[in-house]
Structure 1
Amino acid sequence: MSSAPHVEVSSLWPPTGTLSAIPAQQADRQRVEMLVLQAVQAQPWLMWLIAALGAWVLSSLAMWLSRFPGQVASLWYMNVWGLALLLPVPRRQWPGLLLALALGNLAANLAFGDSLLEALRYLPPNLIEMLLGAWLLRGSESYRRIASSPVDGLKVLLRGSLLPVLAGSATAVLTLGWQDDTPLFRIALTWFESTLVGSVTLLPLVLAVLAAERGAVRRDFADPRAWAFALVSVGVGVFCLLQLPFPFVYLTLPLVLAAVQLRFMAVAALVWLMAMVVGTLIAQGLFVAPPQTAYWQQLLVYAPLLAALLPPLLLAAAVEQARNHHGELSRSRERLRTLYERTPAMMVSTDPDGRLLSVSRLWLERMGLRRDDVIGRKLVDFLAAESRRRTLTRTWPDLLAAGRCRDVEYRLMRSDGQRIDVLLSATTERDADGRITRTHAVLEDITRKRLAEELEAEHERSKVTLESIADAVITSDPQGRILYLNPVAVTMIGQPEEQVRGRLYGEVLRRRDVETGAELPDPVALCLHQRKRLALPQRVRLAHAEGSEHVVQESVSPMFAAGGQLIGAVAVMHDVTEAHQLALKLAHRAQHDVLTGLPNRLLLHDRLHQGLQLARRNRTVLALMFFDLDRFKAVNDSHGHATGDELLCQVADRLLKQLRATDTACRLGGDEFVVLLSQVEQASDAGDVATHLLEALCKPYQLGKHQADISASIGIACFPQDGTDEATLMRNADAAMYQAKQQGRNRVVFFKRPD
């Protein structure tokens, strides 16, 4: 017979060490076989001594109870002792233990009067039984389940008791039969019955102790009920064996009761105790066995004994198995209940009427309720009005009919009145007859998802709005770095969004003053620093990436979160380039002559006013010239108004070419012009300028196919001698011009006061 591949028992436990180093609570959870292994590995010589001593004690006890010198003892327990020591330890340590066991057995036989040779003849069968039993049991894990499985119990008795005893009986025939006149069958039968009864009654107890935790051994043997059953079992056994016929039938009764009430280990101890009682009474001659006429009739004593002791063991294993299954079922239910209540999901269970049977902890937390406040109430009590109506009229009937529903939108109402949007998926549980016993539902909280969707939709609407308006919109973070630009802003600055996002507003947007062209500071940085909107929208020149410019109306405001935290700034720019250009054009037209482009009377008064202030402050001379074209009317009448207009334009062009940038030439109307010299050293300088102007104006004019020759009459008035205010100077210059005309035209005349 071959065994399955075996893993050394020592590999099943952590590194060995002294038991004193293990905490008491942890030591109580250690299996006894582990403790035996640790003891053997820690102090092998001590275990050998214990093995030899145990073998001597058990052998002596068996021989003292039930054998005479030269006969085979009944209720032989020494082999079970040896098997129990061999089973937990590695095979490499078996020789030392076997030698110790053999010495113990040999010492007991010699002490009871056997010769050395006779004692040696008993060793091979005993050693064969111990080795074979340990080898067969090490081939499987069944021996660890003897206390909780009747099937495994029978397998263990087959491998650990029956087969080794048969092998030991055969070996006994070989070692004992060659020198003795006793029939071989009697030797085999006597050996078989004595070792089998001893093995069957003690092996279950030994294996149960080895497979149990140390704390469980202490608990089972300290149970007061076990001691009470022990007294009852001993009393019933003694009374029945001494007083009643067929006593073995009655021995079973207290053991069966104990099998139902006690743990397997305690029942196995009672079975062994009952076997000891029977063996003691037989040894003392108090129990008289039925008359025997043949050797095989010895079985009439031990077969009924085994038949009385085995059923309680199997019943105890079955009860222990059921008890374990019930405990595991209870623990499983508790785990499921705990998992149900603590699972990170909103879960509810209801009866067929919709009353809550159980709820998860998360559901209670989300709803702001306590368990005692909701169990027994209907689920619809916690729904919003619309969801309640839909549940009663459609969802609940559909669930009961179909047995399931999925992703049904509901709205729960918290204890504080807040809403919770959920998706409900439910299924029904039915009994064997197909009736619905309860429903189970999982609710997915989609409140945040709905809020996120609403925010996303609002964000999309805002984005579409920003992208649809005609103004440029730029937002920044609290440090002034650009976060967003709408398409208008991208077009306005001429740079793609990905290139400017994350850069400072003032770094990306090059802004200059409309009037002076000076660079302007970063308005976003200023707004974030002041944490308020800038005073007034500012009109600035904004440079495009390709070099062009826009004139924009710029407004910058800070952005605050609901809690008052500054989250950035938003800049809005309205393109006013066309309006600005139109305003400039209108302003130019208001101050300039439409035909010649020269300043008109309005601008002349403004510059004359400024020139007088400057002359007074610097105490310099200012000259004002009035001149009129000679013979202009003749040109206009001869060649038409268009030719006359062309002549006026050419006159204006010649004036501008002769004057400095600081001088002003303007047209008052018709053929009257004015020249303002704001900075001259002395009045005679104005005369020189007037002479040059006259020379330039007198040159021929090419007017299309015609040529015109004209001259001019120029009158000059100077500040301060000819006047100190605008009106006086203009009046005196005009008077000087008329004097020039009266003196024959084509000349320059300074104003002279009348004598």
Structure 2
Amino acid sequence: MKVLRTLFVATAGADADRVVQAFAASGYRLTPCHAVNMPSLKACLRELPQIIFIFPGSRLSIEKVVAVLRAGEMDIPFIVLLREPGQLNLTETMQLGAQDCVALEDSQRLVPTVERELVAAVLRYNLREQIVTDHLLQEIDQYILHKYPMHEVAGRICQRMVDLFGFSLVWLGMKAADGTIEISDAAGAKNYLKNIAVSWDDTPRGGGPAGVAVRENRPVVLSTDAPQFAPWRARAEQHGLRRILAIPLGLHGEVIGVLLMYSAQESAFDSFAVSRLSAFAARVTVAIIEAREQQELRLMEVAMRNASNAMFITDYAGKVEWMNQALTRISGYTREEIIGRTPHVFSSGLHEPTFWQEMWLRIASGQDWRGDIVNRKKSGELYTVTQSISPLFGEKGELINFLAVQQDISEKRRLEEEIHYLAYHDALTELPNRMLFQDRLQQEIIQAKRNKSEFAVLFIDLDGFKAVNDARGHATGDNLLQIVAQRLRGCVREGDTVARLGGDEFTILLRGVGHGEGLHRVLRKIIKLVAQPYELGEHAETVTASIGISLYPQDATGVEKLLIHADEAMYRAKQGGKNRWVIYGQADVVMPD
């Protein structure tokens, strides 16, 4: 079972048990911590919960909990549990600072909501860590360009990693010929290293993460309670160190040292973090090697050639005269294909001519320029860079060259777009979620008022879904919901909106459709398609749809009322025998032929 560290704020034991049971049915084991006042809240937060639940009106209010999270810069998904549906709406919940609200009795929506928020939290964390890593890589490039000596480079790297990543301790060691590891510099809990002995040879002192990383040339993640860490466990416990990542520093297969990071968090250094920090360590290796070089000209040239960012120098006319290897790696073009040509070779065609004119006017006047550019690789793939251009002047002050530095921010942009998508779409069906549906509904109201037009809101609930879900399992139920989503999309036009509110509830916005044959034609099609059998592995299942309809402007003119009326009409359809529709305000319950 998947373990989920959970914080219940001012939650009754019976209510917490219901949540625990709902997650257990979906393969989760909650490890709860209960907070009833501010001291216990802060104690629970020190255990780094992955999700927080609270009821509105608790003595520890939503606002107080949010204030504590923000003060501690903690990004933990925060779900408000409602004892009664409609006690608090989503807009009010988000204004208070929580991510979502779920009725306690709506167990089918609770688990998917938490799973969605956990994914979004991971993406936000990865984006933040990627930004920090990119920033630190730029700093390391500057260390090399400024020709800092070896000990200063090592010290600056360790201190900045403590500052930016929040590690408890970072140290950098160099591999010695006698089998020991010599500590070059450290930052954080440096007393831990006092009189410490670390080796990379095949002895007990070489069995720790540093020794294994150097000896086997691979990253090593280790908890301080691991048997091989016994020689250093007591001093680690004194400093609150719980988890360690050791990454070898090497070039062309030769290990020259090791970078050690220590965290107070037992869950630190997942596979994504190890991958990102390993790439970062490769750049640290270059920095260390360059810092050990004493020849200034070679240092400057190698630094630029091995910089993580792409660099190139053009003449006054814009033709490339020099470039580093990173430009080839990012663009896919070889040195021979770039030298002598202008940067137009990277053009994606997506920028207006005025964009380039303004850039050239600025740099031609001797001023720096910085901005984001969408380029095209040799393969045709688009990528985005943040580019800075600096004019270079001759001995007499004349403008002779331009230096361009490009940082590839494609992954950062991709993460931002993914987070934005997840915020407005249902992760299971990829349909718009409640928030996006309400936004489109509000926009349609504005448009309909302006054009004096009408539209219909459909509220759909699946009949028999719970029986299938209980009998066949959640995976089969999820598959059925995905097929329903596809069928509903096929019932409407491109400009209409199909959304999933949660569980087995869907909504549809039919633009420009009022009460009449056009509406009835869509309703008949939905009823017919939803009722067709679903081939789910070895079994075929059948569900039907109960549909409630509210019409604008006859039934309501606001978002909330239109949804409420459609929901009420849907319940009338269920009470009337299911597999039929009801239009709000009309007495008839319609069962299609």
Higher CA-based Rg = 1
Q: Which has the higher contact order (CA 8 A, sep 6+)?
A: 2
Question: Where on the TM-score scale, by shorter chain, does this alignment land: which range?
Answer: 0.3 to 0.5
TM-score by length of 1: 0.36
TM-score by length of 2: 0.46
